[in-house]
A and B are shown apart, each in its own frame.
Chain A
Amino acid sequence: MGIEPGRLQFSWVSSAESTKFVEVVNAVTAAVKALGPNNNFVKTLPKVA
């Protein structure tokens, strides 16, 4: 479908693991940032002439 696997991330964090939560946020953000903007799948509006 042209979606890079890194765009969808899964993790399991218990409600007590705030430190892990922050680590995962950082990791996910970094991974998506590395992929660059998502252009392949975005709905594009038809150009109005």
Chain B
Amino acid sequence: MSDWEPKIVAFLCNWCSYGAADLAGVSRMEYPPNIRVIRIPCTGRMSPKFFLAALREGADGVWVSG
């Protein structure tokens, strides 16, 4: 189990967290490569359907960040 790595989908707000993610890159910070980012215009766009679909497609976690 120890070498298992989760796959996490991140729905990031274009104006907030997506910008923070870009800045983290500019600042050359490091973090685990488990997340796959989907850019959304605003967390208001987030629908429970996306969360369920992601889990159904095999994601181990969903992270929504505004």
Contacts and interface: CB of A to CB of B under 8 A. Distances in A.
Complex: A in contact with B (CB within 8 Å): yes
Interface of A: 3, 6-22, 24-26, 28-29, 31-33, 35-38, 41-43
B16 A10 contact: no
Interface residues of B, number: 38
Contacts of A13: 16-17, 20, 65-66
A20 B55 CA distance: 25
Contact of A26 (B10, B21, B32): B32
Interface in B1-17: 1, 4-6, 8, 10, 15-17
B8 A28 contact: yes
Given A18-B27, A24-B63, 13 more contacts: A3-B55, A7-B62, A11-B64, A15-B19, A16-B20, A19-B24, A21-B24, A25-B32, A26-B32, A29-B34, A35-B61, A36-B1, A42-B55
6 shortest A-B CB distances, which residue pairs?
Answer: A15-B19, A32-B61, A21-B20, A18-B23, A18-B24, A25-B31
